[in-house]
Structure 1
Amino acid sequence: MPDPNSDWLLVGRVVAAHGLQGWLRVKCLSDFPERLTEPGQRWLQRDTDPEPLLYPLIQGQFFPAKGLYLVQLQGIPDRTAAEAWLGARVLVPASDRVPLEVDEYYYRDLIGLAVYHEGQWLGQVSGIWAAGQDVLEVTTARGQQVLIPFVKAFVPVVDLEQGQVHIQPPPGLLESFLG
């Protein structure tokens, strides 16, 4: 999971080289797949790189047979150069966030929020699971994880300014964690 305090947004991970012309196969890790198809500034970073390096996206396309994106980046001319980036993260600056609609949130903004149930502190958001419908993973004060479907009926209040969410889960979901 990306660091919520990072100056970068993780949009993909290089999983393989493709062909002889320096194309990369990239697993999309963004809700905005156009970040892997529309030309523009992109950065690559391996675990050993102290800082991300600029490699502008020339072109990209979805490869449905593998569920991956094929991308061509400026400065990666051949397969050998492409193979050097296996496992690298594809990044964009956090300042390039796509504007969201009302009641839409970036995962990184939800991680760490305090979670309240009926006015009592329950724990904090420790993760987000994408499972058809997003699910909040909440770590309780006892270190237990509870999963709350991230729908308005169960999470009626998300207050980013106050750093908290208020939940109203269905009956029976929290009893074993509160008792």
Structure 2
Amino acid sequence: MDVVVARIGKAHALRGEVTVEVRTDDPRGRFVPGTVFATQARRGSGVPRELTLRSARLHSGTWLLAFEEIPDRTGAESLRDTLLLHDVPAEAGGEDEGYYESDLVGLRVEDPAGTPVGEVVALETRPAQDLLEVRLSDGRTGLVPFVAALVPVVDVPGGRLVLDAPDGLFDLGEA
């Protein structure tokens, strides 16, 4: 199964390095020189379908990656917002298995009674805790801490998750 392991940010320096927003719990295990990543980029961007990792390093808390196919800053700038995907074998997991953004985006969001609330549109990975971005039925979007107390059920095969949101969670911007 292909999962998103990073989103490419801006170019860094002159030798084709890019910053990345890490979307894996094991960057040291994933960012190994020689690894080939599938890419997902906007149409017509000219981004290669695959990129081979030339180097990876941590610099001031930010991962910097360079690819065999991208020799310079100009090429690196063209990669911005490209998603790096890596094939991860499906494993039988227990209750604490994690979820990838690709598992969650598109899931129907329901309240505990089964009433539709909206749809998951993104997963924001943060140092303290991950946040689900939910597009509500009325078109607004809101961020929800991705914790068991608020999201007690994630049913990927069923295409839904249950959101037990406290009153007012999505009303913070309406003062």
Calculate the TM-score normalised by the size of structure 2.
0.70
1:82-102 superposed Cα distances (whole Å, 9 cap, x missing partner) = 432214036234x34686763
Contact 2:16/2:74 (8 A) holds in 1? no
Structure 1 unmatched runs, 5+: 1-6
User: How many angstroms apart in 2 are the aligned matches of 1:152 and 1:12?
Assistant: 26
Match of 1:114 among 108, 112, 131: 108
Aligned partners of 1:14 and 1:26 also within 8 Å? yes
Q: What displacement does 1:151 show?
A: 0.8
Q: Distance in 2 between matches of 1:18 and 1:90?
A: 21
Q: 1:56 aligns with which of 52, 67, 78?
A: 52
Aligned residues: 162
Normalised to the residue count of structure 1, the TM-score between the two structures is: 0.69
Structure with bigger gyration radius: 1
Q: Does 1:104 align with 2:98?
A: yes
Q: State how 1:1-179 maps to structure 2 within 5 Å.
A: 9=4, 11-13=6-8, 15-18=10-13, 22-31=15-24, 32-34=26-28, 35-42=30-37, 47=42, 48-49=44-45, 52-64=48-60, 67-77=61-71, 81-88=72-79, 89=82, 91-93=84-86, 95-96=87-88, 102-117=96-111, 118-131=113-126, 132-173=128-169
Q: CA RMSD in A?
A: 3.3
- Map Cα deviations across residues 94-148 of structure 1 (whole Å, 9 max, x no partner): x346867634111121111111112211121123333422222222222233432
* Distance in 1 between residues matched to 2:89 and 2:9, nearest whole Å: 21
AA of the residue aligned to 1:26: T
CA contact (8 A) 2:152 2:164 kept: yes
Q: Distance in 1 between matches of 2:115 and 2:39?
A: 43
Q: Is the contact made by 2:20 and 2:64 (CA closer than 8 Å) also made in structure 1?
A: no
Q: Which amino acid aligns with 1:60?
A: A
Equivalent position of 1:3 in the other structure = none
Q: Distance in 2 between matches of 1:125 and 1:46?
A: 21
Letter in 2 for 1:136: L
